[in-house]
């Protein structure tokens, strides 16, 4: 297992713009917390239990890393090829499942509630990533990745276009918000929730788009390109309290593998190099200042000088 960098500052934490220095800690380095997954995805932090959950999609399991002991075990297996996770505003686990083509909530007693599995009477494709807004609404992306083969789910013909959906926090109504993306993937709100960012992960080059959230959070408007990834491959991402985007990045060349950090204006300011392609991230720890990175076979972490948006 890769250990912690012995030199400070860690050369893996790369400053692309002087503004990134304020977000780094000179005496903090990238740590490898676990190796042994087949494809790591969807990290989510449980501060009340001091543990992190994340998906190992092809191995059909959700793993759990405990902060107090540093040990990793299995939280749920089978997981229905779960991918992205988050917590709702009551602290319950919300998960995207490829195999069952649904979004679920794990109740306090461990029972499972299905939040969405169909739209217009047709089965969803394979819910991928998910975020919860402060009004309780649940937003998720639904590409076809989990039904394209038998590695992360089971092959099936899509009956719906890839899309981004909203589940109303009060009545559970499912609404289609975006229906013209090629491979909608990671999504996150700006700190004030006035903007929704969404990764289009099958366009060439990949791009991250921004939308204004209007009509009391029930509609998106003013679609615009926020980030042109060029040779990069953004996947899942999270936003810090300053509005910066911390994006899973890589696949193809070593210099791209890791996490790429952008300002709210889409300017690249920093990069955290990892020996593997990073799929998704989340902020955790007591002060939400520890960045957890789900990267291919492993799980990594880095203390940073900022905090993740509360509830993200």
Q: Is residue 2 part of a domain?
A: no
In a domain, 273, yes or no: yes
Q: Which residues are annotated as a binding site?
A: 41, 128, 185, 235
Q: Kindly state whether residue 97 falls inside one of the protein's structural domains.
A: yes
Question: How does pLDDT run along the chain (312 residues), one tens digit per residue?
Answer: 455 667 899 999 999 999 999 999 999 999 999 999 999 999 999 999 999 999 999 999 999 999 999 999 999 999 999 999 999 999 999 999 999 999 999 999 999 999 999 999 999 999 999 999 999 999 999 999 999 999 999 999 999 999 999 999 999 999 999 999 999 999 999 999 999 999 999 999 999 999 999 999 999 999 999 999 999 999 999 999 999 999 999 977 788 999 999 999 999 999 999 999 999 999 999 999 999 999 999 999 999 999 999 876
Q: Does residue 308 belong to any structural domain of this protein?
A: no
pLDDT of residue 1: 41
- Is 41 contained in some domain? yes
Number of structural domains found in the chain: 1
- Per-residue model confidence (pLDDT) at position 285: 97
- Running DSSP on this structure, what letter comes out for residue 144? S
User: Taking phi first (over 0 means left), then psi (-120 to 50 degrees means alpha), and beta for anything else, what does residue 120 get?
Assistant: left
Model confidence pLDDT, tens digit, residues 76-134:
999 999 999 999 999 999 999 999 999 999 999 999 999 999 999 999 999 999 999 99
User: How much is the pLDDT for 311?
Assistant: 74
- Can you tell me the distance from the alpha carbon of 273 to that of 40, in angstroms, rounded to the nearest whole number? 17
Structural domain contains residue 158: yes
- Note whether residue 220 is domain-resident: yes
Distance, in Å, from the CA atom of 38 to the CA atom of 56, rounded to the nearest integer, reads 6
Give dist(CA 190, CA 211) in Å, integer. Answer: 10
Residue 3 lies in a domain: no
Neighbours of 169 (CB within 10 A): 17
Catalytic residue, candidates 56, 88, 129, 235: 235
Clarify whether 215 is annotated catalytic: no
Tell me the residue range of the domain where 75 lies: 13-303
Binding site listing for a divalent metal cation: 41, 185, 235
Q: Kindly report the three-state secondary structure assignment for every residue of 280-309.
A: EEEEECCCCCEEEEEECCEEEEEECCCCEC
Q: What CATH number has the domain bearing residue 259? A: 2.120.10.30
- Residue 96's φ and ψ, nearest 5 degrees, are -100, 125
What's the DSSP call for residue 275?
S
CB atoms within 10 A of CB 15: 15
């Amino acid at each position: 297992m890769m250990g912690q960098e012995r030199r400070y500052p860690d050369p893996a934490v790369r400053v692309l713009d002087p503004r990134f220095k304020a977000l780094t800690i000179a005496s903090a380095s990238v740590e490898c917390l676990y190796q042994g997954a087949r494809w790591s995805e969807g990290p989510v932090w449980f501060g009340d239990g001091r543990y992190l959950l994340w998906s190992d999609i092809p191995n059909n399991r959700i793993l759990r890393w405990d902060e107090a002991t540093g040990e990793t075990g299995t939280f749920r297996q089978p997981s229905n090829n779960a991918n992205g996770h988050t917590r709702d505003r009551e602290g319950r686990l919300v998960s995207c499942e490829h195999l069952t083509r649904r979004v679920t909530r794990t109740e306090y007693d461990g029972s499972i509630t299905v939040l969405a599995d169909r739209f217009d009477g047709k089965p969803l494709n394979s819910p991928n990533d998910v975020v919860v807004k402060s009004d309780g609404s649940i937003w998720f992306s639904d590409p076809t990745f989990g039904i394209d083969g038998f590695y992360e789910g089971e092959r099936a013909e899509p009956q719906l276009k890839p899309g981004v959906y909203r589940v109303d926090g009060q009545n559970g109504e499912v609404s289609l918000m975006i229906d013209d993306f090629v491979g909608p993937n990671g999504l996150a709100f700006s700190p004030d929730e006035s903007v929704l960012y969404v990764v289009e992960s099958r366009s060439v080059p990949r791009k991250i788009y921004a939308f204004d959230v209007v009509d009391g959070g029930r509609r998106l408007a003013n679609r615009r390109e926020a980030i042109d990834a060029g040779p990069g491959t953004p996947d899942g991402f999270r936003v810090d309290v300053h509005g910066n985007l911390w994006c899973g990045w890589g696949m193809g060349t070593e210099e791209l593998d890791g996490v790429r950090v952008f300002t709210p204006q889409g300017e690249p300011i920093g990069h955290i190099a990892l020996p593997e392609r990073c799929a998704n991230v989340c902020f955790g720890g007591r002060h939400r200042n520890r960045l957890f990175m789900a990267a291919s076979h492993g799980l990594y972490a880095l203390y940073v000088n900022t905090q993740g948006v509360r509830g993200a």
